[in-house]
Amino acid sequence: MGNLMDLRPSFLKGRPRAAKAPQDVLQELWRSVDMPAESLSHVVLTGADPVLPSSFAVGTAAQTSMAAAALAAAELWHLRGGARQQVGVDMLHAAQECRSYFKINGVALDPRDPLTGMYRCGDGGWVRIHANFAHHRDGALALLGCPQGDGATRAAVESALSRWKALDFEQVAADAGLPVAAMRSFDEWDHHPQGQALAAQPLLTIERIGEADARPLPKYGEDARPLSDIRVLDLTRIIAGPVCGRALAAYGADVMLVNSPQLPNIDNIIETSRGKLSVLADLDTADGRIALGNLLRSAHVFVQGYRPGGLAALGFGPQDAARIRPGIVYVSLSAYGPKGPWAGRRGFDSLVQMATGFNHAEAQAAGQDAPKPLPMQILDHASGYLMAFGAQAALARQATEGGSWHVQVSLAQTAHWLRSLGRVEGGLACPMPGFEGLLETEPSGFGELVSLRHAAHFSSTPARWTRPSSPPGTHPPVWPFN
């Protein structure tokens, strides 16, 4: 049942394959979900890799995932009765937007904890520990027998890990529910059970999960944008999911970020909340579940980044949502995909880079022994735009075919896709560019926010955020009257 987008990369032995042309990459993305071919004649892609220092086509990944999302918005505009319009995305601007740069009240914030990072283990292998949340940080320190609080130091962590094998610590941490990844090569990942499970899965899945009447998109009114009057529930944190919601808000949707008062956030919420309403609902309580159910009954899109099965246990899995709101487009994000032995494992962009071979390959290209990360969290950002792309493609199907739809994206599947885009010869010699000419300043609920303008340009309905970024709980859990 359903339609599966199939972009399974073929990995080449020996000399790395040259990078694909962005136009070809976008065409593959677009046609694989059966979007109208005519739209492709209305997109302009400028620039070429390298735009950031990497041997991977990170600029192409940023540009084409964003262009797919923007072009899908333009297609929805056309379905609503608007004339086809031109969409343009510059590669450098898109890549810079994926660096998550922002300032609040003149200060550039860094969400990373000092203990987050890469460590050599006693067997010569490497692990990366994600300690940006206090409970993850304290859990890793306790597992290693290191002092916590003010006594926690990188030196203590390094000393403790000198007594571990990298893969052993990764497994013990995973068993404790802690986000840690050991460095692997591409070849090691390809032979890993989770790598093999992913190789058999498509990049993006759009599956029909229930029956519902077609709900035609409302006709556009004065000063409308492609997604005006479309309601999106955003139950995500960190970067990938929030980027999806931020993009949909830029294209006109009413996006409501739903935070739990019991869960922590990182400072990136300031930048990724542009254009969104922001409410609180504790889904561990009956009141919170009732509030979310009431919102869902008139939503068009439901975006969530809980681990597989997490929301189903609370009564808001894909099938639950389709029952509560027939015709819903349900979008799921995971770290390692919905199938395989790691399907339920916690993960973040930096950990997926480490586990799937990118940090090893980039280090080899740089001629160094220590793992080398990609120049930005491209797995997060590209996944976010692929989620927005899939959500809008499913909206188009719902409006014309009916049904309820489930869109699935994972960071690890995006990593496979990035790898399939080829390598950029001499890419690591590219200097890291500045942000001149790309920044805008606006008020927010957190203070004066300086951040990057959106890189996707529309000839008729310019992308913009009409609501300022606001702290969690700023708004009541009710949809605005349009």
User: Class of 22-110+195-340+374-458 per CATH?
Assistant: alpha beta
What's the pLDDT at 471?
Answer: 96
Phi and psi angles of residue 93, each rounded to the nearest 5 degrees, phi first: -60, -45
pLDDT (tens digit, 9 = 90+) per residue, 204-233? 999 999 999 999 988 877 789 999 999 999
Q: How distant, in Å, are the alpha carbons of 101, 225, 383, 440, 442 from that of 464? A: 18, 9, 21, 11, 12
Q: Is the pLDDT of residue 13 over 60?
A: no
Q: How confident is the model at residue 11 (pLDDT cuts 50, 70, 90)?
A: very low
What's the pLDDT at 331?
Answer: 98
**322: its two tokens:** 């389709």
What's the pLDDT at 15?
Answer: 55
What's the pLDDT at 16?
Answer: 65
Mean pLDDT of 115-122: 97
The per-residue DSSP string of 390-459 comes to HHHHHHHHHHHH--EEEEEEEHHHHHHHHHHT-B-TTGGGSPPP--TT-EEEEEETTEEEEEEPPSEEES
Contact assessment for residue 162 and residue 127, using Cβ atoms and an 8 Å cutoff: no
Query: Domain extents for the chain?
Result: 22-110+195-340+374-458
DSSP state of 137: H
What's the pLDDT at 150?
Answer: 79
Q: How confident is the model at residue 8 (pLDDT cuts 50, 70, 90)?
A: very low
State what percent of residues in the chain have pLDDT above 70. 96
Q: Is the pLDDT of residue 263 over 50?
A: yes
Mean pLDDT of 130-158: 93
pLDDT (tens digit, 9 = 90+) per residue, 395-431? 999 999 999 999 999 999 999 999 999 999 999 999 9
Say which range, 145-154, 239-248, 326-335, 396-405, has the weakest mean pLDDT: 145-154
Q: Is the pLDDT of residue 367 over 60?
A: yes
What's the pLDDT at 264?
Answer: 82
Q: Is the pLDDT of residue 111 over 90?
A: no
Mean pLDDT of 15-21: 80
What's the pLDDT at 151?
Answer: 82
pLDDT (tens digit, 9 = 90+) per residue, 304-350? 999 888 899 999 999 999 999 999 999 999 999 999 999 999 899 99
Contact assessment for residue 60 and residue 421, using Cβ atoms and an 8 Å cutoff: yes
Q: pTM of the predicted model, to two decimals?
A: 0.95
